[in-house]
Amino acid sequence: MLDNQKKLLEIKGLKKHFSVGGGLFNKPSLVQAVNGIDFDMYHGETLGLVGESGCGKSTAGRTILQLYKPTAGEILYDGVDIAKLSREEMVAYRKKMQIIFQDPYSSLNPRLTVGSIISEPLSIHHPEMSKQDRIDFSKELLMKVNLDPSFVNRYPHEFSGGQRQRIGIARALAVDPEFIVCDEPISALDVSVQAQVVTLMEDLQAKMNLTYLFIAHDLSMVRHISNRVAVMYLGKIVELADRDEIYEHPLHPYTKALLKAIPVPDPVYAESHPIQPLEGEVPSPINPPKGCYFSPRCPYAKPICLEEAPVYEEKAPNHFCACHFV
């Protein structure tokens, strides 16, 4: 399906490391948050990015947007390596790339009205617009996200979590972007509201030809909204494939463990198929294990796994995996 589509993003060997600690006599430690990932994204698709907390999903999304400067690697946006652009040169790409943050309570400035929050990007990227034009455009965006346009004069504390996230979506749409990083946009919302927000995002994607990098923990929701799914573990992508392929024919032991942990709303099935939690803790990104990063927790690990890192390669058509024993 994706072969005939045009590539929007090409991520090659992307790394983001952070220095932490250190002092007068001690060297700082290096947190390898994202440690060499490769994937492509196509115009109009949704790529789901899943994994345990702390695996580097959000850091990867923010590094792609240049909110963090990458330590190494390439970020090709329509063929241009934006990782090498200066701050001034990046301004033109800021209009094309936006983010929806995880927490709708902390991502909105409590001192600004909704109209000011949504129109702020316009004042930067469209300074020719008058204040009234920006407010009018903010009202149009509120209607797009199914909110009353009269809300422009209200403040964030007057809204529920779902309404605040819709305001955050409206802000992301203000500059007419092509690509949006959705950084766990529904994890802080009530279950009853999550489906409404996801449906809204799907409608907006169809109308505006948006491309989403959808970062989430909820594997069932990721399957619903995504075209393809990438599984991340300790800063590396261990498996990537089409949505149905990865859920029905997972290749990597970590992917299999994640899928087995999905609760099933059927007591009879649940009793005969108990959830099997993955044993062990995620190793520290400061000192990742030698060889395969998943080997200390993998039930199928062999001596080679402890010594040699597996190659991330195409194991089946459009199905990529990093494992010695697929």
State pLDDT tens for residues 71-83. 999 999 999 999 9
Q: What is the domain count for the chain?
A: 1
- What is the pLDDT, as a whole number, of residue 4? 54
Within a domain: residue 188? Answer: yes
pLDDT tens figures, 126-163 = 889 998 999 999 999 999 999 999 999 999 999 999 99
Cα dihedral across residues 211, 50, 298, 291: positive or negative: positive
Q: Calculate mean pLDDT across residues 40-63.
A: 94
- What is the pLDDT, as a whole number, of residue 282? 84
CATH number at residue 61: 3.40.50.300
DSSP H/E element including 224: helix 219-225
Q: What one-letter code names the amino acid at 50?
A: V
- What is the pLDDT, as a whole number, of residue 192? 84
CA distance 214 to 289: 28
pLDDT at 105 over 90: no
Within a domain: residue 183? Answer: yes
pLDDT at 166 over 50: yes
Residue-averaged pLDDT of the chain = 91
Within a domain: residue 314? Answer: yes
Strand partners, 97: 179
Within a domain: residue 316? Answer: yes
Within a domain: residue 147? Answer: no
Within a domain: residue 213? Answer: yes
Q: Calculate mean pLDDT across residues 312-324.
A: 95
CA distance 180 to 117: 18
Within a domain: residue 132? Answer: no
**Ranges 16-30, 112-126, 242-256, 257-271: which has the least confidence:** 257-271
DSSP H/E element including 20: strand 7-20
Whole-angstrom Cα Rg for the chain: 21
Q: Calculate mean pLDDT across residues 248-266.
A: 86
- Owning domain of residue 186: 7-96+177-322
- What is the pLDDT, as a whole number, of residue 270? 67
